[in-house]
Amino acid sequence: MAGTDFLGLGWDFPIGVDKSGRIEPTPDGDASIRQSIWMILSTSPGERVMRPDFGCGLRDLVFGVNNAAMATAVTRAVREALATWEPRIDVLDVYAARDPTRPNVLVIEINYQVSATNSRFNLVYPFFLE
């Protein structure tokens, strides 16, 4: 991990226990960033008592119609949340499109670059509507 100390280290989420009863190792580097993005998208503002403004607010859109307007709203919400809550990355692109095999799923693809290393990654997040 010596080469990625600047990316940070945090608790694994959800917190788990290994076979010996110890808390599972914490993610580091790129895994930490990926998990952070997932957590931001999965958290609604107001859900965390000590940080009520944290999160993305996708759940506010959960009963919307899966169409182009919804994809635009989701894309905007994801971009804003990641710009606010994940300073270690630069968001390159966010795409949201209807899953052709599941009409109630909007697939969100996030392309991002780790600011400190210029490494590029993508994350696909399924957003279930209705």
Give the residues of the chain that fall short of pLDDT 70: 1-16, 24-28
Q: What is the pLDDT, as a whole number, of residue 27?
A: 65
Q: Tell me the CA distances in angstroms from 25 to 6, 29, 36, 90, 128, one per residue in order.
A: 18, 13, 16, 27, 30
Question: Which class in CATH covers the domain with range 26-128?
Answer: alpha beta
pLDDT tens digits, one per residue of 54-70: 999 999 999 988 999 99
The domain ranges of the chain are 26-128
List pLDDT tens digits, range 106-120.
999 999 999 989 999
Q: What is the pTM of this model?
A: 0.81
| Opening angle at CA 40, ends 4 and 86, nearest 5 | 40
Q: Which two tokens stand for residue 15?
A: 């917190």
